[in-house]
Structure 1
Amino acid sequence: MTRDYVIIGAGPAGLQLAAFLEGDGADYIVLERGGGPGTFFERLPRHRRLISVNKVHTGYDDPELRLRMDWNSLLSDDPELLFSRYSRSYFPAADDMVRYLSDFANRTGARVCYGVDVTRVSRDEAGVFTVAGGDGQTWRARRLVVATGVSLPHVPDIPGIELAERYDTFDTDPESFTGQRVLILGRGNSAFETADSLMENAAVIHLVGSGSLRLAWQTHYVGHLRAVNNNFLDSYQLKSQNALLDGRVRSVRREEDGGFRVPVAFERVDEIVRELRYDRVIVATGFRFDASLFDATCTPELMIDDRFPATTPVGESVNVPGLYFAGTIMQGPTFKRATTGFIHGFRYSVRAQYRTLRQRYHGEAWPVTEVGADPGQAADAVIGRINRTSALWQQFGVLGDVLLMAPDGTLRYAEEVPTGHVHDAVRDGDFGPVRSYGVITLEYGADHDRVNPFDVSAGRKSQQDVMGLDGRYLHPVIRWYDNGGPAGEHHVTENLENEWDSEEVHRAPLHAFLAPRLVPSAVVTS
């Protein structure tokens, strides 16, 4: 039997795609190594607190707006499948996520085979994939979707690194670190989460990593250091025996007394090397994708130091047709620039992937709505969407709505298309005949990550800034294309509460931008 789809992994991404396919009555199966869904969250994060926001009280009745502040729920029409029904904590417990995913799988009817340890994936000359399990059972599929997450530790190539403890397996009991000197390799949230848990017991804690520390509140990338984990910085700057080392570990050497000698090349002082002594060394340098399942017939190309598969904007492998990736392993092309690595980002990217699959292989057009032919109606459609959408809000710059003008001047509106896919889709006729089109996104301003938002001098804007031409905060952007080339760009003025509904400040300038471009015979180049 050859299925249309086999999905490997019943984590959030695999279940999200399965729920969409189940709703269509599609021919698919999900294979999961664990005994239930979401087994990743049974052991990670190690200190059992998620850093994904669960804001129960938003003041909004609109479920779409509430999803802007809900980083844990998967997309579903079932009101019982909202994560806020499982926890009221702003940063919930990981065990709550396990319960949630179990219920999501059950209530959506996702067809999952548990206890399947996939050992090998191959692809024949006809393009059919064969997935082999450890017990000798096999599954065949025309399309394969891998949603296994980043399942392997990303361990740096340092002599002696094997002597260190690993974040995913070390003893998290703070008592075992009492009075000790501890070095943690890594400066992401897992490293700081670990340091925070040890501060009451360890004598000295050092975190080490190369380059400048990146803070999420400044970069707007939620994988950078979050405020919930940054107590360690306070203890460092107030001289409480803890320190952040900007440098590179040269090696890890064990001493006769059981401790470690670690030479560190400090970047602030021209790579001067100093040897430091520690009782414990922990590696918390992140995770990577495991590509060992694939044989030579379908080995996917990798990127970012081989941490992620190289994919197209819709999650297809760049070198293996029909092989797709869903979830956090879709983040390679937008690594550290978007939310694709997290549930509140990839749930929308998976929906876009699902729509692409239905279009490519089952003849279902990307859903569009008719707008009419009047620029005022077009402006209303854009304003209505940017004031409500959670997808463009969460996947800023990655997903965009598309305002499509047919040769006869009629307008249609497509939602949540991967921005890197829009031009190819228009060229290939995926939206039918198109004369020109506008891509609507929510974005932060240029160099937003270099501006300290708490520096009032940096916040003094020129009149041009105030009018939205160089807004630093999240705001709508409309880029127009004619004959495949750029034909204008408009930034809607940013707003403190993200309500772009002023006739004078928001709608009228947008209407003025759109009106000359919505004339079928017009060619606007600026």
Structure 2
Amino acid sequence: MAPQCYKGEVCEPVDYDYVIVGAGPAGLQMAYFLQKAGRQYVVYESQDKAAKFFEQHPRGRKLISLNKKNNLFKEETFNMRHDWNSLLSDDKEMKFTKYSDELYPDASDLHQYLNDYAHRFQLNIKYNTKVKKISKPDSTFTVCIEEADGETTSCRATCVLMATGAMSENLPEDIEGIELTDTYSQHDMDKDLYKDKMILIIGGGNSAFETANHFAGSAGIVHVSLGKKMQFAWDTHYVGDLRAVNNNIIDMYHLKSMHATLGSKVEKITKNENGKFVVKFKDLNTQWKVPGWLFFDIEYDHVISCMGWNYVNTQLFDEETINVELVKNNRYPKLSNCWETDTKNLFYIGTAMAAIDRKSASGFIHGFRYNIRTLFNLLEQRLFKQSLPHITLPTKDLDTVSKKIIERCTISDSLYQMNGFMCDVMVFDEKTSVTKYYTDLPFRHVMEKPEFKDAKHVFTIHLTYGRDKFGTSTKSVDNVHAPDFTTNRCASFMHPYIEYYSHGEYVDQTELQESLIVRYDNWSSDKFPQWSSSANENYIKYYVNDKLNWTDEKFNLVPLPEEMIKKNFVPLTKEEMSRLPHLWENAECTQSQELLPKNPEPIRERKLRPTMKEIMDSAQRKELTYHMLTQLQV
């Protein structure tokens, strides 16, 4: 079946339905779906193997992607929540968990797995083939390539999918002399070269701290220059922010073990006559009595830039026929809510998908594998007029509706990994009285599609963190107590949201309670009675029926049954209430807190350090007193 032409367009003959540029994990994942669907595609890879990037990166060879194999449960999708390295397929043997038992595995194992994946499914990859130029002279693309023997040829394609991954290292133009530094990708890993040396590492992400940890035992002093506030993954819940596995330098800094993190921004780098690096810093000091900027220089033996990657090489595109704008300091492509560039049918897949997602996992295998599956389905609809994947639920069957939502929230891997970004969509058609349940769609793209925007009754279901309701006065890591089971609103961690839309307009939303392991089935009810599967199902029925008026049936809406409260819950006494700390921030939900001591010590008046004027005045008083005493002695 050939791709369908757009209205008013002339279909040009093509060699392929799809050209994929790059055989990294994203290119392999899309190739799998295209091959399974019988589409005409080719993957062009400039290297002699798939996923060549992982032969060298990360430099420390330990991945920060989880490989948790033992999870109590047998559901494949539930276990994929904790397998961050496998690509999707129908072959249960092609799981990365077969390759390593390590929680944080070696990158060489991932490289081997990805090449085995390409071989196992006999994906149509042309290795040692460089894409030289991509143009779009008409409704289709022309892709010019250089093959292994040096011959230059070209092909025509309906759609181009850029799976190029990290294209080059980011060297910020606002740092004068940045070109003098070593980079994350190129610096020498031999620890002996750095013995008793001073090292500066520029950057505040995982690559910077991974590098710092590598040299922490051999270098005399390691400084990590952040230039901004540190973003910890445990605070932001974004897997790309600084992970605990890489933060040893922070621990050493706060225990005063020579190494340090600096909030200062690097302004300029030069080399002196001794071959040392002289680094000029600009430091914002708002904590001073007179806030201001502090400028200072430090001399280093080595400077390594670890400032991340650029994900676009615009030189691959013919600028007269293809438009790819850059965003985020020119590091990412500008993408639509379905990962399309400003050029129709030109998409970016893989790590570049993070251009529109800084909340979940689009920049990692365990996130973009679902994005790619969704994009494949969207393209099947666009180019081949296939229906989006969905099931049809029995007409006006609230019991089946609630059970389906509970099931998806309990075992879905895609909603879990792509929390806050991807959702399921349930549409009730009043004309046919049919309920359709669609899975795994980009949340912001849903109401751009006519079948959802024009519908009278649409429900979206997604898993999202509720931290925004608790204000900013305390950190996420302080929230270690049970959520409020008397309400469905105040849950900090990931939990289900159900939102209602009518004719494309948001109406309202409801939430289910937080679950310790994000399961809402009977297992949770058995192990933790306060989570009631039936209560959640009744709550869903009530909410859905309130919008659709399917039945007059009454539903139990008490999140925590009264008998459970009496059995398991004892309110604070008046004395204990008096020991609660005061929260000055006005937030919808209250942070969990520890009680103050019963007999707190009286608050002592803080003695401020004397100002320079006070010191001078004091000195003058001492001089005057000395003069008076001298006169009295006379």
**Which runs of structure 2 are paired with 1:183-332 in the superposition (5 Å)?**
183-268=200-285, 270-289=292-311, 290-296=313-319, 297-317=321-341, 319-332=342-355
Tell me how far apart the structure 2 counterparts of residues 260 and 242 of structure 1 sit (CA, whole Å). 18
Quote the residue 1:123 is aligned against.
136
Quote the residue 2:369 is aligned against.
347
Tell me how far apart the structure 1 counterparts of residues 142 and 467 of structure 2 sit (CA, whole Å). 43
SS in 2 for 1:66: helix
1:214 partner amino acid: Q
After TM superposition, give the deviation of residue 521 of structure 1 in Å: 12
Tell me how far apart the structure 2 counterparts of residues 167 and 309 of structure 1 sit (CA, whole Å). 22
| 1:18/1:30 contact within 8 Å kept | yes
Call closer, same or farther: CA 1:460–1:29 in 2, change over 3 Å: closer
Call closer, same or farther: CA 1:358–1:210 in 2, change over 3 Å: same
Q: Deviations over 1:458-480 (max 9, x none)?
A: 8586x5x7523132100000100
**Structure 1 unaligned regions, length at least 5:** none
Q: Does residue 394 of the first structure (1) align with residue 394 of the second (2)?
A: no
TM-score w.r.t. the length of structure 1 is: 0.94
Quote the residue 2:176 is aligned against.
159
SS in 1 for 2:268: coil
After TM superposition, give the deviation of residue 315 of structure 1 in Å: 1.3
Tell me how far apart the structure 1 counterparts of residues 284 and 416 of structure 2 sit (CA, whole Å). 37
Tell me how far apart the structure 1 counterparts of residues 359 and 315 of structure 2 sit (CA, whole Å). 27
Decide which of 547, 559, 567 is 1:517's aligned counterpart: 547
SS in 1 for 2:381: helix
| 1:246/1:268 contact within 8 Å kept | no
| 2:142/2:154 contact within 8 Å kept | no
After TM superposition, give the deviation of residue 13 of structure 1 in Å: 0.5
After TM superposition, give the deviation of residue 504 of structure 1 in Å: 5.2
Call closer, same or farther: CA 1:323–1:80 in 2, change over 3 Å: same
| 1:406/1:433 contact within 8 Å kept | no
After TM superposition, give the deviation of residue 433 of structure 1 in Å: 7.8
| 2:30/2:373 contact within 8 Å kept | yes
| Structure with more contact order per residue of length (Cα contacts < 8 Å, sep ≥ 6) | 1
Quote the residue 2:398 is aligned against.
375
Tell me how far apart the structure 2 counterparts of residues 213 and 345 of structure 1 sit (CA, whole Å). 23
- Structure whose CA Rg is larger: 2
Quote the residue 1:58 is aligned against.
71
1:140 partner amino acid: R
SS in 2 for 1:20: helix
Tell me how far apart the structure 1 counterparts of residues 110 and 100 of structure 2 sit (CA, whole Å). 9
After TM superposition, give the deviation of residue 245 of structure 1 in Å: 0.5
**Which runs of structure 2 are paired with 1:50-89 in the superposition (5 Å)?**
50-89=63-102
Call closer, same or farther: CA 1:432–1:467 in 2, change over 3 Å: closer
Quote the residue 2:493 is aligned against.
473
SS in 2 for 1:468: coil
Tell me how far apart the structure 1 counterparts of residues 505 and 339 of structure 2 sit (CA, whole Å). 25
Quote the residue 1:179 is aligned against.
196
SS in 1 for 2:263: strand
| 2:228/2:265 contact within 8 Å kept | no
| 1:436/1:482 contact within 8 Å kept | yes
**Structure 2 unaligned regions, length at least 5:** 1-13, 287-291, 522-531, 553-634
Q: Deviations over 1:365-399 (max 9, x none)?
A: 00111112222221111111111100000000111
Decide which of 112, 117, 120 is 1:107's aligned counterpart: 120
After TM superposition, give the deviation of residue 175 of structure 1 in Å: 1.2
After TM superposition, give the deviation of residue 432 of structure 1 in Å: 11
Tell me how far apart the structure 2 counterparts of residues 444 and 99 of structure 1 sit (CA, whole Å). 35
After TM superposition, give the deviation of residue 57 of structure 1 in Å: 1.2
SS in 1 for 2:68: coil
After TM superposition, give the deviation of residue 244 of structure 1 in Å: 0.6
Quote the residue 1:132 is aligned against.
145
Tell me how far apart the structure 1 counterparts of residues 504 and 86 of structure 2 sit (CA, whole Å). 37
Q: Does residue 491 of the first structure (1) align with residue 511 of the second (2)?
A: yes
SS in 2 for 1:55: coil
Quote the residue 1:444 is aligned against.
465
Q: Does residue 362 of the first structure (1) align with residue 384 of the second (2)?
A: yes
Quote the residue 1:411 is aligned against.
435
TM-score w.r.t. the length of structure 2 is: 0.78
Q: How many aligned residue pairs are there?
A: 514
Tell me how far apart the structure 2 counterparts of residues 156 and 235 of structure 1 sit (CA, whole Å). 28
Tell me how far apart the structure 2 counterparts of residues 225 and 299 of structure 1 sit (CA, whole Å). 34
Tell me how far apart the structure 1 counterparts of residues 299 and 315 of structure 2 sit (CA, whole Å). 36
Tell me how far apart the structure 2 counterparts of residues 131 and 359 of structure 1 sit (CA, whole Å). 28
| 2:63/2:104 contact within 8 Å kept | yes
SS in 1 for 2:476: coil
1:438 partner amino acid: F
After TM superposition, give the deviation of residue 484 of structure 1 in Å: 1.7
Q: Percent identity?
A: 33
Q: Deviations over 1:111-153 (max 9, x none)?
A: 0000012121111123333333363121221110000012210
SS in 2 for 1:412: strand
Tell me how far apart the structure 2 counterparts of residues 512 and 327 of structure 1 sit (CA, whole Å). 40
Tell me how far apart the structure 2 counterparts of residues 170 and 510 of structure 1 sit (CA, whole Å). 55
